[in-house]
Amino acid sequence: MSTATDVDVTARARDILGVSRLTTTALTGWLHGLPGVDQVGCEARAAALSTRSVKTTSKAWAVDTAISMIDLTTLEGADTPGKVRGLAARALVPDPSDPTTPSPAAVCVYGDMVPFAREVLGHSTVRIAAVATAFPSGRASRAVKLADTRDAVANGADEVDMVIDRGAFLAGDYRQVFDEVAETKAACGEARLKVIMETGELVTYDNVRRASWLCMLAGADFIKTSTGKISPAATLPVTLVMLEAVRDWRELTGEQVGVKPAGGIRTSKDAIRYLVTVNEVAGEEWLDAHWFRFGASSLLNDLVLQRQRMRTGAYSGADYVADDAPSGY
Ligand SMILES: O=C[C@H](O)COP(=O)(O)O
């Protein structure tokens, strides 16, 4: 599957929009021409997908898949080298009692903490993601944001999680948001770029859809819901809107873009609801850690617990059904 890495995103965006100049006016016309999101329909579909049962055998697969999709995260002002080393060690060996437990996809830390994660992870399969561009607010000059990104990459980050300028987006300055994403992508070099839209601040599903398309036009490798610092963080309906966007983007361009809900996803039950939604909305090609991630600090604990319970037979023979599923579903 091709990605936007090697293409001139501005020229491509002009082609997609059918304009000779990529102005804010052109972007506004195009983004506001996207079909509106049916809020009631979207929330009803997400609620219906939440009630799907998952059989015991599929549940074992889902739990391992969800673990493999976690970006195990610590993003606190009080993070220490020791805490980050401990997090990285947990990613390498999530369950000392069962070496068959998969590792999470990545650890996600502030850029200055990357070397401490690298000390532990070395060249293991666990990637290191660093937040950048004045995370979480995104309030800094372009120069500072790009320096932040280059610093994270120079420290050894494999992936960069940037935040968009929500103020610019909400003011309708779409070209500024486009340029910032495109320039950050260029500053990433080989590192994959996840673009955090902070959907809890975008207010409407229509805005989530527009921001998703804008970030993909500008070269995002992943679109991500939230910083985890404001409420609401990830929700299933918002993620559904983003999954529709990456599905439709691939249909339009042939490129696949990943999706990362982040913040507030804490239980195995929640994670499985997301996996069902990924499968139903985007398709099974996204059921892979290369294309879908959970940004989460404590989800791993619950998934490992579920795994242990399944192994010791506590749930053997029972189908997994979400607690709020209608009886007989
Ligand atoms: O990106 C992930 C979040 O910062 C972690 O949020 P959480 O502590 O709610 O899992």
Was domain 8-312 assigned CATH 3.20.20.70?
yes
Measured from the CB, is residue 295 less than 6 Å from ligand 1?
A: yes
List C-alpha distances in Å: 307 to 8, 16, 60, 118, 284.
Answer: 45, 45, 7, 27, 23
Give the SS3 label for residue 237: helix
* Average per-residue pLDDT for the chain: 93
Greatest distance between any 2 Cα atoms in the chain: 63
- Reported as a single tens digit per residue, the pLDDT across 5-40 is 446 999 999 999 999 999 999 999 999 999 999 999
Residue 326: burial class (beta carbons within 10 Å; 0-12, 13-18, 19+): exposed
Q: What pLDDT sits at residue 104?
A: 98
DSSP state of 54: B
- At residue 57 the predicted structure's pLDDT band, cuts being 50, 70 and 90, is confident
The pLDDT-based confidence of 317 (bands split at 50, 70, 90) is very low
Which residues does the annotation mark as catalytic? 161, 224, 260
State the pLDDT at residue 66: 98
Closest-lying ligand 1 atom to the alpha carbon of residue 264: 9
Alpha helices in the chain (DSSP H): 9-17, 24-31, 39-50, 56-68, 81-92, 114-121, 142-154, 166-170, 174-188, 205-217, 236-253, 268-277, 299-312
Give the mutation target among 70, 71, 72, 73 for probing the ligand 1 site: most ligand atoms within 8 A of CB. Answer: 73
278-289 as b/e, with b when 16 or more CB fall inside 10 Å? bbebbeeebbeb
What residue segments make up the domains of the chain, in order of their start? 8-312
CA-265 nearest atom, ligand 1: 10
pLDDT at 58 exceeding the cut of 50: yes
**Could you tell me which residue, 323 or 163, shows the higher pLDDT?**
163
Per-residue tokens: 98: 């069962």
pLDDT tens digits, residue range 79-127? 999 999 999 999 999 999 999 999 999 999 999 999 999 999 999 999 9
pLDDT of residue 238: 98
Atom 6, ligand 1: residue with shortest CA distance: 263
CB 296 less than 6 A from any atom of ligand 1:
yes
pLDDT digits (tens, 9 = 90+) for 261-277: 999 999 999 999 999 99
- Find the 74 Cα to ligand 1 centroid distance in Å: 7
Instruction: Return the pLDDT at 324.
Output: 31
pLDDT-based confidence at 314, cuts 50/70/90? low
Interface pTM, i.e. ipTM:
0.96
- Res 230: pLDDT: 94
Instruction: Give the model confidence (pLDDT) of 180-219 as tens digits.
Output: 999 999 999 999 999 999 999 999 999 999 999 999 999 9
pTM: 0.92
Contacts of 142 (CB under 8 A, 6+ apart): 179, 180, 183
d(CA 202, CA 254) in angstroms, rounded, equals: 27
CA 124 to chain centre: 21
Mutate to test the pocket of ligand 1, among 199, 260, 297, 300 (most ligand atoms within 8 A of CB): 297
Q: How far away, in angstroms, is 295 Cα from ligand 1 center?
A: 6
Name the residue at shortest CA distance from atom 10 of ligand 1.
Answer: 296
Distance of CA 225 from the midpoint of ligand 1 (Å): 11
Segment 286-305, tens digit of pLDDT:
999 999 999 999 999 999 99
- Is residue 175's pLDDT more than 50? yes
Residue 191 CA, ligand 1 centroid: distance in Å: 21
- Percent pLDDT > 90 in the chain is 90
Using the atom order of ligand 1, give the atom closest to the CA of residue 298. Answer: 10
pLDDT of residue 329: 21
Nearest-5° angle of CA 96, CA 98, CA 102? 95
Render pLDDT for 210-252 as a digit per residue (tens, 0 to 9).
999 999 999 999 999 999 999 999 999 999 999 999 999 999 9
- Angstrom distance (rounded) from CA 205 to CA 224: 14
Q: Confirm if 290 and 67 have CB atoms less than 8 A apart.
A: no
Question: Does 261 sit in the ligand 1 pocket, CB within 6 Å?
Answer: no
Residue 229's pLDDT is 97
* pLDDT given for residue 7 in this prediction: 62
Distance 262 CA to ligand 1 centre (A): 6
